[in-house]
Structure 1
Amino acid sequence: MTSKSSFLTFLVCAALIPVLFEATDAQGLRSGFYKKTCPKAETIVRQTVASFVAKDATVAAPLLRLHFHDCFVRGCDGSVLLNSTKGHLAEKDAMPNLSLDGFDVIDTAKAAVEAACPGVVSCADIVALAARDGVALNNGPSWQVETGRRDGRVSSASEAVANLPSSFGEIAELKAIFARKGLSAEDLAVLSGSHTIGNAHCNAFSKRLYNFTGKGDRDPSLAPAYARTLRSQCPRGDETSIVEMDPGSAVSFDTSYYTRVSNGKGLFRSDAALLHDKVTRDLVYQYTGSASKFFRDFGVAMGKMGNIGVLTGARGEIRRHCALVNA
């Protein structure tokens, strides 16, 4: 995955990977938006992501998470990238976002794109493209990313807290949060599959191990043997250690996450919650047996998510630096 041969194979074959759904012109976005104004934009982003993954394959998961956390707060406008200012906390400093990573990849891609086409390509589009490319480089699907997003100028930590789903969320809460963003229970099930890559801090799930109902108990939906393994990795009170969300598959985008969920080995309570609704439960079992269906549905769901609340046309701006609004 991190070899030079894999890197070169990706660059040569990326354009040949079948598009998983038909491109549409939603909310002003379109395929090939930068074809005339910055024709190498998508190639530059792809090469940047590939160079980082070649050194560390685990960076793909943070890029996917950045896109998700961006889109669920104010829409896909790059607001998750903005720095806090004096007296104002931005999204990246909200509690749910303190473990976000991958900002250096986005900044590097932005600098390279700016060198080629100053003031043309938005940070929001770079985030969307980088998420897609990171997944493809971790043996996952590719999909058509429509571009044309512009960057927002507002970023609020309180809005991040209010809009991001919790890793401890139950199914009704999760479905309601997704519905507010125009996403279905089916989208919830398939996008949860992103947990097949990446790591998590112990404090994101330790309540399931030590104090599930406030009585020092374990979440009964968690397989006992898996719970013992997690306790050995995350001692009581551990806030800093990390574990693989899908052990043995943390850098390979596949369906093993769904197998684990069906066996009571989903890391988060929100993973286990998928079994508490017929629609999401049925999809957990379907995806367990069909990588092709999962990949196809994942591409479609990512396309829908990438259209949430986008700024196009004259709205927003094209930031020169992703962490700062233009003067």
Structure 2
Amino acid sequence: MGYRLSLLDQSPAEEGQTPEAALSATLNFAREAERLGYHRLWVSEHHDSDRLAGSSPEVLVAWLLAHTSRLRIGSGGVMLQHYSPYKVAENFHLLAALAPDRVDIGVGKAPGGLPLSTKALQGARAGHNEDFPAQLKQLTHYLTSATEPAGGDSARALPAPAIAPQRFLLGASPESARLAASLGWHFVFAGFINTNEQAMQEAVLTYHEYAAGKGKALISLAAVAAETQHQAAELVAQQHNYRVTLGDKHVTVGTLEQAEAFVRQSAASEHRIEKQTVNVLHGTADHIHQRLTALSQRLNVDEFILHTPLTDVGQRLRSITLLADQRIKENG
């Protein structure tokens, strides 16, 4: 098959599970991913969530790098609106110096939490931060100018690693794709957030057009493999998200409680909450690979980042094992 498989893990916590156990499961997941031959593993950023333990991807990335040896590790992604681009560049340059040629920086523009956590993260800047394209442009500068001589016109984000981290913009629209291409970033279409295939096609083809072969487009999808199609369907049957609409703004959260909290904390006079079934690519490993092969050929994509939206550790590991074994089988 002409594509690579990579993974996204959100450190989910089952009912009654401690965050320590959830993070330990992520470490085990990373070790198994490396053993099974996956190319990269990314971890996410979520705030004030009892269900997801990964609030600081940079910290978790460092821990996973220290306990693996080959797997690329990165953020999927850092929510840049909350932070100084300079500090983000420093963090990932330091990680890249600690683990040469194994570090990815993935950046997104979603809040990653409820309004009060956003306010707490941004502190005095809350409500006055720069627009996302300007922040990404600043981050690009700091990631590419670290090797310049001292005493220049701007601060350097040191240390300057021998091999820079690979840069990925996470998005779900043609606008994000154009932004990534214009600044020399790879692009990842967040298909587990925007499941519309037409939107996926438009964004990926837009990136190919504007990047002109100087970057790569990836697709991230929710996927669950099982021994049979029926078993896979049962695993994903209870997967739901909640879409909150406040005026012309939308946010997707995992539970009704989070959706209601988002509305309260926003103090919105008008809102709408919609329960949505999560669109998960599911079935046998052979079925999933057939779907990925078709997408790869149609959209000229040579890597998929798969997110397994299950809290049960054993089920998550079984899914990625079946997919890896099927790849080995088909490659002979």
Q: Which has the higher helix share?
A: 1
TM superposition score normalised by structure 2: 0.28
TM superposition score normalised by structure 1: 0.28
Q: Which has the higher strand share?
A: 2
